[in-house]
Chains A and B, each alone.
Chain A
Amino acid sequence: MASDWIKRGLVLASLMAAGGSLSAQVVVPALDPTQPTLSAGAAGWREGDVVGSSYSDHSGSRKVGDLEVIKYTGGRLTGLVGVQFSTLAVELSSTGDRPNTKPGTGFDHPVTLKRDRQRASFSVLGSDFANLGLRTETDSKVQWMSATAVQVKTKLDKTAGDLSVKIGDSFYAGGGYAKVKEKSDLTVDNNWTETMAGVGLRFGAPGGSRFRVEVGWINAGKAVQSAYLTKAQAVHPATDTQLASLELEISGLLFSASSAVEEENVTLIDPVSGQSSGVTRNSSRGGVLWVPKEGMVLGFAFGNEKVSQLYTETFSDFEVKLGYLF
């Protein structure tokens, strides 16, 4: 039973590696300057230097059928710096997750104990027409898997190249390609590729009334590595993610909404009931933020998330944001 949950946990871990607080920022950055972008090319379209931070507090549960098996609580701290030079834009961000859920005696469900992500994006700016970006990301996680695997470390290293093109005054389009390497205490090393694409519209100038909408897609390939010596087989299923983001800013007051749907091309079989299930993750966020042309940025956001597979996990979170635009 425990090994089944380990496999399920690794599947979920892979899924979550692509996730976090996903918001469509593949080709143009959010009007909320405290949000890290998903691609370096998008970060190049930032309209000023920024220092940002946010703290979110979440709670949730995992249910198997109607039975609640885990309660989740925890916090996430994010920091971001975005600066622009004459032809180069740099964005650095770091996110730390600190769940409070502690496995107890008789516990047989994988639980994330700690997670840290660091991202660095570098974008070469091309005459207000195209940005060529390079991005690196490290995602480290410590998970409790079973009574015999209490501190399983998993690390993902992602290197991505991307392009974002501006057509006319307001239309943006682009895409990118990423190579992902995974190392785990439990499984053999694995690697796979990711492609992303997006289109977006952004109207208005900083400090005034503005509007932004973007849709994006991320696809990750399937990768299987055979077991070797003491390490188990590594499986990363193919995943499809659809992203959408909508923002409206009126005289500095920004209202934002975003959604993400991630589907994993895998069929899981419950070892007890024999019931089969795919893996889907739906998340949505909404927020209010004060964004001046220059000065202090502050606001808050709400989020909801649901993971459906052999079990169902639901989360809700509340996030406060504070930053400064230079």
Chain B
Amino acid sequence: MKHLWLLLLGVGLALNPGISWGQVVTPAIDPARPSKLAAASSWRFGTSVAMATQFGGQKTDQQKVPDHNFGSSGLLVIQPSAITIELASNGSDDLAVWDATSDLLYPSSQNESSGSIAVRGEGRVSVGLGGISRAKESRGIFRQQSGFGGSFGFRLGEGFFGAVGMNRITEKVAAVEDKQWNEMLGGLALVYGDPDSSMFRLEGSLVSSPLVAGGTGLETIHHKTWEQNADLELLWSRWYLSAGSTTTKTFPALVREGDQHLTRIRYGLGYRKLSFSLIFYRTLADEQLGSKMYKERGYGATLGFGFL
């Protein structure tokens, strides 16, 4: 058993990026999806290990990137008692990012690792601490972000959950002054049922990040963003169905920029029981700045093993 764990962890962490739709209030029924707030991981259903990968194509009106691997991710959850430890890694070395101003796609790489620890109290409250490290490279600018955060969540009645938290992020880019900002997260969720048979989960959450600008160069700017997430999952006799959306508004920092709206939709279908899950996803993303459009169409899969 010990060797199986190490193997699965090794595969998961080596694969890197992919399906990393973070959960703010409660963990997804799909155990492969990481928690954005440490407090959410307290509500997981036991120890698990999972991995995910995603493929797809990207295009604008002028450019097209054929289907390729967006990236992969790995997740390890250790929940021996009221304490939950979650380690996650995701990234991509072969992703194109859209520069809305020039309407061009640029090669990019993104890698993220995170760890958290949370304590659940009397099945009613959860308090967690987390740390995160991100590395992003695009257009010759290498951004190294690190941060830590705290969060707390609560459960009212049988299945009503809430959570709020904050991550304090520091960004280092060569030759410019370090930037710091606070990322605020919060949300509400309804969760009912048994993760080994039938279950229902509905979550809505918000993530906001402020503008930090030390100049007019791209490397000196962290854009203000406002992200809304909605996630609906159903487990019916272990058959899994889900639909979710993430809408991100990126506010302009410079006169030459405009508001950007990115909408990501995902649909999931699969099988899940406590000890095993296999879920397939279809993902659609559209981003808009004025009349300029960016489109992303993808397919993904997650694989999870539970050890309750």
Contacts and interface: CB of A to CB of B under 8 A. Distances in A.
B152 A253 contact: yes
A288 B152 contact: yes
Contacts of A55: 148
B284 interface: no
Nearest to A250: B125
Contacts of B154: 253
Q: How large is the interface on A (under 10, 10 to 19, 20 to 34, 35 or more residues)?
A: 20 to 34
B292 interface: no
B129 A73 contact: no
B204 interface: no
A292 B125 CA distance: 12
Contacts, number: 64
Counting chain A CB atoms within 10 Å of each CB, the highest count among B125, B152, B166, B168 belongs to B168
B204 to A, nearest CB: 22
Contacts of B215: none
A3 interface: no
Interface in A269-311: 288-290, 292, 295-296, 298-300, 302
A142 interface: no
B117 interface: yes
A24 B150 CA distance: 24
A59 interface: yes
B260 interface: no
Interface string A31-73: 0000000000000000000000001010100000000000101
Contacts of A292: 119, 121
Dominant SS at the A interface? strand
A288 B129 CA distance: 11
A318 B177 CA distance: 20
Contacts of B247: none
B263 interface: no
Contact of B117 (A73, A100, A298): A298
B122 A251 contact: yes
B288 interface: no
Contact of A290 (B127, B168, B177, B178): B127
B68 interface: no
Contact of B168 (A253, A318, A322): A318
A320 interface: yes
A206 interface: no
B127 A288 contact: yes
A51 to B, nearest CB: 16
A299 to B, nearest CB: 5
Contacts of A290: 119, 121, 125, 127, 152
Contact of A300 (B119, B124, B150, B177): B150
Contact of B83 (A100, A251, A289, A296): A296
Nearest to A255: B152
B168 A57 contact: yes
A299 B150 contact: yes
Nearest to B117: A298
A252 interface: yes
A57 B129 CA distance: 14
B148 A73 contact: no
Contacts of B117: 298, 322
Interface string B108-137: 000000000101011011011100000000
A73 B83 CA distance: 32
Task: Point out which of A100, A298, A322 has the most chain B C-beta atoms below 10 A from its C-beta.
Answer: A298
Given A288-B127, A290-B125, A320-B129, A296 B166 contact: no
Contacts of B127: 253, 288-290, 298-299
A249 B178 CA distance: 38
B225 interface: no
B145 interface: no
B114 to A, nearest CB: 14
Contacts of A318: 148-150, 166, 168, 182
Nearest to B178: A73
B180 interface: yes
Contacts of B228: none
Contacts of B166: 300, 302, 318
Nearest to A290: B127
Given A289-B127, A298-B129, A57 B148 contact: yes
A255 B182 CA distance: 21
Interface string B168-184: 10100000011010100
Contacts of A71: 177
A-B residue pairs, 10 tightest by C-beta: A300-B150, A290-B127, A252-B121, A318-B168, A253-B125, A288-B152, A290-B119, A320-B129, A59-B180, A320-B150
27 contacts: A55-B148, A57-B168, A100-B178, A251-B121, A251-B124, A252-B121, A252-B125, A253-B152, A253-B154, A288-B127, A288-B150, A290-B119, A290-B152, A292-B119, A292-B121, A298-B117, A298-B119, A299-B129, A300-B149, A302-B166, A318-B148, A318-B166, A318-B168, A320-B129, A320-B148, A320-B149, A320-B150
Interface of B: 83, 117, 119, 121-122, 124-125, 127-129, 148-152, 154, 166, 168, 170, 177-178, 180, 182
